[in-house]
Amino acid sequence: MELHISLVGRKDLSGEIYRQLRRAILEGQLRAGDTLPPSRELARRLSVSRSTVTGAYDRLAGEGFVTARVGAATIVSEHLAPARSRSKNRRIGDTLRARPVWDAIPMPTVIFAQPPRFDFRSGLPDATLFPHDAWRRLMARQLRSEAKGAIVYDRPAGNRRLREAIARHIGVSRGVEASADDVVVTNGTQQALDVVARVLLSPGDHIAMEDPGYTLARWAFTALGLRVRGVAVDRYGLDVDALPKQARAVFVTPSHQYPLGVSMTLPRRLALLAWAERHNTAVIEDDYDSEFRFGGRPIEPLRMLDTTGRVIYIGSFSKTLLPTLRLGFIVAPPSLREAIHKAKLVTDWHTSTTIQAVLAQFIDGGGFARHIRKAREVYRARHRLIMDALGRDFTDHLEVVPSTVGLHIAAVARTASAAQIGIVVRRASDRGVVVQELSKFGVDSPEPPGLLLGYGAIPTARIEDGLRLLGSCFSH
């Protein structure tokens, strides 16, 4: 450990070394068993005589703070009481204040909690389906390759091979025409939204989004100083007629609306693009969950229907692979390319080069396509289990929003209020069943009470028992 000791402007040098080391031990910066630097090395680093350092070490040893033996290392004593909390010994002023917007944004601690026994949270894939062995082999090969050459910063747009692989993937699977030059690799959807909003919009600008909608997107836009306007969603998707004329951008999830799960119909998609053209507005399309479709015909992304270059298409590997990889992408019109590269540069320069290279090999080698096919069949079975149970055991309480895409199902309460649904959710949590309240996803207006049931993270064998417990929470 690099130990910082300041002797600038000090006179009693040995005493200063002693006092600063003693303080570091008492405050827990140096812990029991830690080794102090050799006296010769510390003397050279501090530009003092070795006797100055040994004097401080001897004093610490005499008081029992360290154990020192001739010719051996000097170690912080094991018998010391646990260190006092630094916050209790040193008071820091509270002069600096964060902008008020951060007071309104909660930290979703449930995301980081230990997974429950019956985990019906949305937006989570099954980590056990991830091809860990294949990924580990590719990672080891990539690290060996990197060890042979200099490691330098990469281009903000990302690994060229990965961008080519992404362009091919969305071209084959979604019909999106794009080249590697159109693709920018990001740290997931969240960063993609942040980068695009930075490029397109200024503080005070209006941005419209679906209501109910993706909560983290709303927080990201709000944190950037944008005025977020919620627009109602019905069984056909976003209500285009309700869009505010002053919106400079519209954020939508047309393939699988989050959280309701409906797909935007073709007339609505065409109407949205026409509206954007009339009002000179950008459309940010998150092609959420489109890889997991269990019935019906795939719908064309807005990007595929766009003829005027107004659609910015974003995607993520968080649901198809793992959220912990933090990999997503932007496909933007050429007119925005340079600005998006610069925004990515000033945000974090670039996404992990090692992970990008491994994903490129994984896609090119066919591993990604094989994984999607395998995962789709697992999720299809879980989707069917939940739909059957809801239709059989929950008809008195919930009305299912029809959906054949993605990793979750939404169900609206038939008679219960939002407060009553909240009680059900808390009862379920006490029994180890975690579900989400639909009303929590409202943007401008309170949404109908209901539940969101994800099936990505819960093992198939636990679904029926989990739903049985959830059903019992409606009655008592």
User: What pLDDT band is residue 366 in, cutting at 50, 70 and 90?
Assistant: very high
All CATH 3.40.640.10 domain ranges of the chain, comma separated, are 131-367
Mean pLDDT of 458-469: 96
For residue 94, the model assigns a pLDDT of 74
Is the pLDDT assigned to residue 150 strictly greater than 80?
Answer: no
- Mean pLDDT for all residues in the chain: 91
Preceding peptide of 459 cis, ω within 30°: no
User: What pLDDT band is residue 81 in, cutting at 50, 70 and 90?
Assistant: low
The C-alpha atoms of residue 207 and residue 201 are separated, in whole angstroms, by: 9
Q: According to the CATH classification, is domain 131-367 in 3.40.640.10? A: yes
CA distances from 474 to 160, 424, 467 (A): 53, 6, 11
Is the pLDDT assigned to residue 208 strictly greater than 80?
Answer: yes
CA distances from 320 to 220, 327, 352, 397, 442 (A): 23, 11, 18, 32, 26
> Tens digit of pLDDT for each residue in 308-355?
999 999 999 999 999 999 999 999 999 999 999 999 999 999 999 999
Q: Tell me which of 72-81, 159-168, 253-262, 406-415 is least confident.
A: 72-81
CATH architecture of 109-126+370-475: Alpha-Beta Complex (3.90)
Indicate if the alpha-carbon torsion angle 247, 249, 254, 260 is positive or negative: negative
Task: Please tell me what DSSP assigns to residue 48.
Answer: S
Q: Which amino acid is at 82?
A: P
Q: Are 475 and 397 in contact (CB under 8 A)?
A: no
How far from each other are the two terminal CA atoms of the chain, in whole angstroms? 57
For residue 1, the model assigns a pLDDT of 63
Q: Minimal CA–CA distance to 348: which of 154, 213, 93?
A: 154
Is the pLDDT assigned to residue 33 strictly greater than 70?
Answer: yes
For residue 108, the model assigns a pLDDT of 74
User: What pLDDT band is residue 364 in, cutting at 50, 70 and 90?
Assistant: very high
The C-alpha atoms of residue 273 and residue 277 are separated, in whole angstroms, by: 6
> Tens digit of pLDDT for each residue in 114-128?
778 999 999 899 999
For residue 420, the model assigns a pLDDT of 94
User: What pLDDT band is residue 297 in, cutting at 50, 70 and 90?
Assistant: confident
For residue 476, the model assigns a pLDDT of 65
All CATH 3.90.1150.10 domain ranges of the chain, comma separated, are 109-126+370-475
CA distances from 219 to 76, 148, 442, 443 (A): 46, 43, 12, 10
Mean pLDDT of 123-148: 93
For residue 70, the model assigns a pLDDT of 67
Per the structure block, which two tokens stand in for 165?
């692989």
Instruction: Write down the pTM of the prediction.
Output: 0.84
Is the pLDDT assigned to residue 231 strictly greater than 80?
Answer: yes
77 burial level (CB within 10 Å; 0-12, 13-18, 19+):
middle
Describe the crossing of helices 39-46 and 50-62 by its angle, rounded to 10 degrees: 130
> Tens digit of pLDDT for each residue in 178-197?
999 999 999 999 999 999 99
User: What pLDDT band is residue 239 in, cutting at 50, 70 and 90?
Assistant: very high
The C-alpha atoms of residue 198 and residue 155 are separated, in whole angstroms, by: 19
User: What pLDDT band is residue 68 in, cutting at 50, 70 and 90?
Assistant: confident
The C-alpha atoms of residue 454 and residue 447 are separated, in whole angstroms, by: 19
> Tens digit of pLDDT for each residue in 380-437?
999 999 999 999 999 999 999 988 889 999 999 999 999 999 999 999 999 999 999 9
For residue 111, the model assigns a pLDDT of 60
Q: Are 257 and 286 in contact (CB under 8 A)?
A: no
For residue 127, the model assigns a pLDDT of 94
Q: Minimal CA–CA distance to 216: which of 118, 356, 328, 337?
A: 328
- Higher pLDDT pick, 231 / 292: 231
Fold of 13-89: Arc Repressor Mutant, subunit A (1.10.10)
For residue 84, the model assigns a pLDDT of 57
All CATH 1.10.10.10 domain ranges of the chain, comma separated, are 13-89
For residue 49, the model assigns a pLDDT of 94
User: What pLDDT band is residue 72 in, cutting at 50, 70 and 90?
Assistant: confident
